[in-house]
Amino acid sequence: MIYVKTMIPLRRSMHKALGALALVLAGLASPHAAAQVPDEQPQRLQAITLGAGMHNIHAELAITPEQRQKGLMYRRDLASHEGMLFVFEAAQSQCFWMRNTPTPLTIAFIADDGSIVNLADMKPFDEASHCSTQPVRYVLEMNQGWFAKRGIKPGFKLSGAPFKP
């Protein structure tokens, strides 16, 4: 029998409930349960160089759905010239949020030819959607203010391998 601190015997139904709770708690401590906890490590991806006039951007490529979903989550810092380029299979309206992302970012929605369609500043951990104003295949996230500090606005054309001339 199981006793509580008052030394009162527990009823059979309570004993079964405690047994079930013990099984649940044991399951949480199992390696399988640990695998279900989200990975809170930032991802590091292969990068390419993009051009923004006289400025170079070291852009990690998020190509697969898993890479795009995680994006810059958990990334606490980006060097001033670093960012992440999200590449989609087809041009469509793209929307992003900042779940689990502690770094303030500016997002650029980019047409196939490298032209910036629109920009949006995003606050850390904010789950509000920031969307492209027209269908795009590319989205570039940089430190917040990176584009503004360089006078880069919608209509500016980025250069690099992904963009068609």
Is residue 141 scored above 50 in pLDDT? yes
Kindly report the pTM of this predicted structure.
Answer: 0.77
Give the separation between CA 148 and CA 140, rounded to whole angstroms: 14
Instruction: Please indicate whether residue 32 or residue 99 has the higher confidence score (pLDDT).
Output: 99
Residues 105-116 have a mean pLDDT of 98
Least confident of 12-16, 56-60, 72-76, 144-148: 12-16
Is residue 14 scored above 50 in pLDDT? no
Each residue's pLDDT tens digit, 35-54: 444 568 999 999 999 999 99
Domains and CATH numbers, the chain: 1-37 (no CATH), 47-149 (2.60.120.1140)
Cβ of 67: how many Cβ atoms within 10 Å? 17
Rounded to the nearest 5 percent, the helix, strand and coil shares of the chain are 20, 35, 45
Q: How far is CA 115 from the centre of its chain?
A: 23
Instruction: Please indicate whether residue 80 or residue 26 has the higher confidence score (pLDDT).
Output: 80
Q: What angle is formed at CA 90 by the lines to CA 84 and CA 93, rounded to 5 degrees?
A: 75
Each residue's pLDDT tens digit, 70-99: 999 999 999 999 999 999 999 999 999 999
What is the chain's Cα-based Rg?
Answer: 24
